[in-house]
Amino acid sequence: MIRYHKSHTIITGLLAGILLFSLNLPLRASGQVQYVGPGQYLHIDNKFDTGHRFSISEAPYIASVHNGYVEGIYPGLTAITYEDTGKIAREYIGVKGLLPSNPYLRVGQKQALYLFGVPKSSISRWTSSNPSVASVSRKGILLGRSTGTAQISCHLKNGDQFHTVVDVISRNLRDESIDQKVAQATEEEEEYGNILLSCQETTFFMKKKDSYKPKVTVRKLNGRRTTPELTWTTSDSSVAKVDALGKIRAVGGGIATITCQADDQSLEFSVNVITGGESGGSCKLTLLTGSPSKKRNYTLFKQNAHNYSSYDNYLAWHGCAHCSLATVLGAYNQDYEGIKPNEIISGIEKKYADPKAWSREHEQHSLRYQMPLSLHGISSLLEKGKVSNEYVPFFSYDEARADIINHLKTGNPVIIEVRQKSSKTGKSSRRWTNSYHTMIFLGIFTDGKVLLCDSVNRSWYDGGQRYKIVTIDDVMEYMFTSKRTTTSYYYDGASSDGGYIKIFDE
């Protein structure tokens, strides 16, 4: 991961053409975009510092690398290339700002401004310092009205601002400086590639016979959309097929990578076709996530399988949290791949939990009074296991629903806690539990349903039990927010054990 640092240095770019990228992704994993502003810095993590040689492999005018920092120079997208264990790896860097930067207009000409690296929903308003020279609409459309200069500002809801200066010249004036800028941009296109492919979603969960067409955006360096010929291919036609227009069709269970190619640029999509399910004590499930595609090898457990060599009765009563932790930890850290719930107790939990608390829960208490791991405990042990995550203890329903859906679209799971009480009706139900229960959203389907990892069998569910396909609201109805924080690894009351945990790919 790359951390964010501020600088007072202000660097203004002078190029007319730059790379545009329309994704809005979290500040996390390799293979996704991490953002910084012009004149600001991103610090490269220590795990990447030693023995690596960094270089800007694309569009070096966007950012630079020196002394372990990435400096944002000019709005757009670039990539840092470095060698990691003999393989070439990349970190994608997005520099936030208004595009095109310092545009030239003729009187009467219109130009759309684009705020790169920031969601449109974050924009509050646009203003011009001199509307008689250049006005700007609510949607960021410039209009040259008379010769002169004006500063255009984009104001965000959080108070941040981005600025650019527009020069408006006479309708009939021939200006050599404009010709020079166009020529310079053309040279950059030839050297660094003249298009960029992007898509807001790159991981898809599908059921057999489902179809879906990703919305791929193709832009030139000057920011304008273009329509080059796209070539679509699949890595496994027995799992997923794709036609010449990019429509993906799920054929059979498994994983496949769909590739979209245009000129020398390509974009990968991870496709997971889910069929059937498993109902035994445990099962394996391999999923593809991200772009480029990355395999995740999950092991899903049944808490009352009664096949654990130790802590068997404890897991039957309280093992949902340990099952969920083992599933995620094993998928996100190869050192723990295949780890079992009972091995969590005797291994990483015993190592990092308070010794008295661990002994109380696993050696002293009778089964009835033992407690499962809390969400805080799960999050803490994931961090100890080098799995990046964010515990969200407090939430409102609508905000949490949107947050979880957006996170699942990145291909990364969410660990959740439910109870028997419905947040909608206030009535008790045994649909998911008769007390409290921990489960995992593994992904979201193209039709909006979710893939749910559940350590308990449900008589009402017609299909495999270890993972189920359900609506997100059917589960979230029983989620609940915390009312206070806790530092306990173990459940110490509903008021401190609500919320959810987002897992990140780092």
Q: By C-alpha distance, which of 299, 308, 435, 456 is closest to 372?
A: 435
CA 372 to chain CA centroid, Å, is 29
**DSSP code, position 188:** H
* Beta strands, E only, 302-402: 389-392
Structure tokens at 387: 């799995």
> How far is 295 from 332, CA to CA, in rounded Å?
10
Altogether, the residues listed in the chain come to a count of 506
Q: State whether residue 384 is helix, strand or coil.
A: helix
What is the rounded CA–CA span in Å between residue 115 and residue 113? 7
At residue 111, φ and ψ (nearest 5 deg) are -150, 130
Token pair 């932790």 is found at 325
pLDDT at 244: 92
Hey, which bits of 191-281 come out as E strands? 195-198, 203-207, 211-212, 217-220, 231-234, 240-242, 248-250, 254-262, 265-274
Q: What does the pLDDT read at residue 279?
A: 84
Strand partners, 451: 443, 469
Q: Report the pLDDT value the prediction gives residue 60, as an integer from 0 to 100.
A: 57
Answer whether 47's CB lies under 8 Å from 135's CB. no
Question: 300 has which bridge partners?
Answer: 283
pLDDT at 25: 29
Place of tokens 């947050």: 403
The residue assigned the tokens 């974009």 is 267
Terminal Cα distance for the chain, rounded = 6
- What pLDDT is stored for residue 115 in this prediction? 87
Cis peptide before 292 (omega within 30 of 0): yes
Instruction: Label the pairing between strands 231-234 and 254-262.
Output: antiparallel
Give the pLDDT score at 99: 83
pLDDT tens over the chain, length 506 residues: 333 333 322 222 323 233 333 333 222 333 467 787 777 777 765 444 444 455 554 555 667 776 667 777 778 777 776 665 555 566 777 888 888 877 888 888 888 888 888 888 889 999 999 988 999 998 899 998 888 899 999 999 888 888 889 988 876 555 555 555 444 544 444 444 456 777 878 899 999 999 999 988 776 654 555 667 889 999 999 999 999 999 999 999 999 999 999 877 788 999 999 998 788 889 999 999 987 888 999 999 999 999 999 999 999 999 999 999 999 999 999 999 999 999 999 999 999 999 999 999 998 877 777 899 999 999 999 999 999 999 999 999 999 999 999 999 989 999 999 999 998 888 999 999 999 999 999 999 999 999 999 999 999 998 889 999 999 999 999 999 999 999 999 999 889 999 999 999 86
Please state, in angstroms and rounded to a whole number, the distance separating the CA atoms of residues 305 and 280: 8
* Kind plus residue range of the DSSP H or E element containing 58: strand 55-58
Residues 39, 43, 48, 51, Cα dihedral to 10°: 70
- Which amino acid is located at 479 in the chain? M
What is the model's pLDDT at position 291?
74
Q: Which position has the token pair 């090898």? A: 297
In single-letter form, the type of residue at position 131 comes to: P
- Cα 66 → chain centroid: 27
Which residues lie below 8 Å from residue 425, measured CB to CB, with a gap of 6+?
none
